[in-house]
Amino acid sequence: MAEAAAAVRAAHKLYEKSVIFDDPFALQLTSPEWRFVAKNQWLYSLIVKKILKVLRPAHGQVLARSRYTEDRLENAISNGTTQYLLLGAGLDSFVHRRKDLISRLKIFEVDHPETQELKKERIASLELEHPKNLHYLPIDFRTESLSEILERSSLNQKEPVFISWLGTVPYLKRDVFFEIVQSLSGLLASKSELVFDYANITISSDDQPVVEKLMKFAERRGEPLITQFDTKVLNSNLNSLGYNIIENISQAKWRVFYYENSPTADLCPISAAYIAHLRVRNLL
Ligand SMILES: C[S@@+](CC[C@H](N)C(=O)[O-])C[C@H]1O[C@@H](n2cnc3c(N)ncnc32)[C@H](O)[C@@H]1O
């Protein structure tokens, strides 16, 4: 699914009039198959805009979650944050795209070993630079402890960290998700921030076709979407695990932020698509 997300970013840059998230590296980083589709406008229109048309709101979520996160990351950097942790980094090209920000950061990409190896191979074959402040940390969230891996890394636990966790939480069991957020709030300095997107448990009948298609799409690729949350319960759980909820927003805000009066209004995510922005408070 990391390759599909990169293909969405690639095609968005190539063909869409209003660019919500500008990723000039996505086309090179995605799989040869998706690159072939994205580069051929006729094939792209047929597959993505006709056959998979119902998935457009899911594509809009891929774009908006990255834009939302990097806007908040920029704020955190101006407030002094110097560490960026990408959980489930996938084919995110942050270190190649954001030359304006990377010199001010220590960056940790945390991902499943298979995805991370694939990314490293692609980066090597494209002869892209490996910044010395980028650290790869392989993990399987289901079987390994994130806090142990972070403790062994050069992450400075005394300084705030900005964490993105995009497009990944729905693939994990609830207990794995809660173990990770709990361990992070115990480990990281207060004022660390976490942004993650997830699906709400309540799905409107209008959104049902998108959800069904997305679930089948993910399942066919061997990466089933298994976890949704009730937002109110989630907020309360996160609060008791040491987080202040800065924002936990859905469609209405996504629309206002990125898709209102836009030629790409059809990309607006469904009402069950949420993104949460939290700040670590630490438990006393
Ligand atoms: C849909 S991709 C999202 C990638 C990227 N964050 C983005 O927004 O394009 C999901 C990511 O979650 C990672 N992932 C899924 N299950 C995982 C697990 N059990 N352990 C570690 N990473 C996992 C995958 O390797 C992949 O990078």
Question: What is the 3-state secondary structure of 160-189?
Answer: CCEEEECCCHHHCCHHHHHHHHHHHHHHCC
Mean pLDDT of the chain: 93
| pLDDT value at residue 17 | 75
Give per-residue pLDDT as tens, 95-140.
999 999 999 999 999 999 999 999 999 999 999 999 999 999 999 9
CA of 110 to the centre of ligand 1 (A): 9
Question: Quick one: 79 exposed, middle or buried, by C-beta within 10 A (0-12, 13-18, 19+)?
Answer: exposed
Rounded to the nearest whole angstrom, what is the distance from the C-alpha of residue 146 to the centroid of ligand 1?
14
Residue 27 gets the label, from left (phi > 0), alpha (psi -120 to 50) or beta, of alpha
Q: Which residues line the pocket of ligand 1, CB cutoff 6 A?
A: 1-2, 5, 88-90, 92, 111-112, 115, 139-142, 166-168, 171
pLDDT at 130 (0 to 100): 92
Distance between CA atoms of 66 and 275, rounded to whole angstroms? Answer: 10
| CA–centroid distance, residue 226 to ligand 1 (Å) | 14
Report how far ligand 1's centroid is from the alpha carbon of 113 (Å). 10
For the whole model, what pTM was predicted? 0.95
Amino acid at 80: G
Pocket probe mutation, ligand 1, options 65, 171, 177, max atoms within 8 Å of Cβ: 171
What is the tens place of the pLDDT at every residue in 37-61? Answer: 889 989 988 988 888 889 999 999 9
Given a cut of 70, whether residue 284 has pLDDT beyond it is no
For ligand 1, the distance from its centroid to the CA atom of residue 284, given in whole angstroms, is 32
Of 3.40.50.150, 2.40.10.120, 3.40.50.300, 3.40.50.1820, the CATH number of 54-280 is: 3.40.50.150
**Tokens 């991370």 label which residue?**
116
What mean pLDDT do residues 24-37 have?
A: 94
Nearest CA to ligand 1 atom 14: 88
Q: What whole-number distance in Å separates Cα of residue 88 and Cα of residue 111?
A: 5
- Of the ranges 19-23, 92-96, 141-145, which one carries the lowest mean pLDDT score? 19-23
Q: Please give the number of the atom of ligand 1 that sits closest to the Cα of 5.
A: 9
* For range 173-186, the mean pLDDT: 97
Q: What is the mean pLDDT of residues 211-236?
A: 92
pLDDT for 280: 97
Residue nearest to atom 22 of ligand 1 (CA): 112
pLDDT at 265 over 70: yes
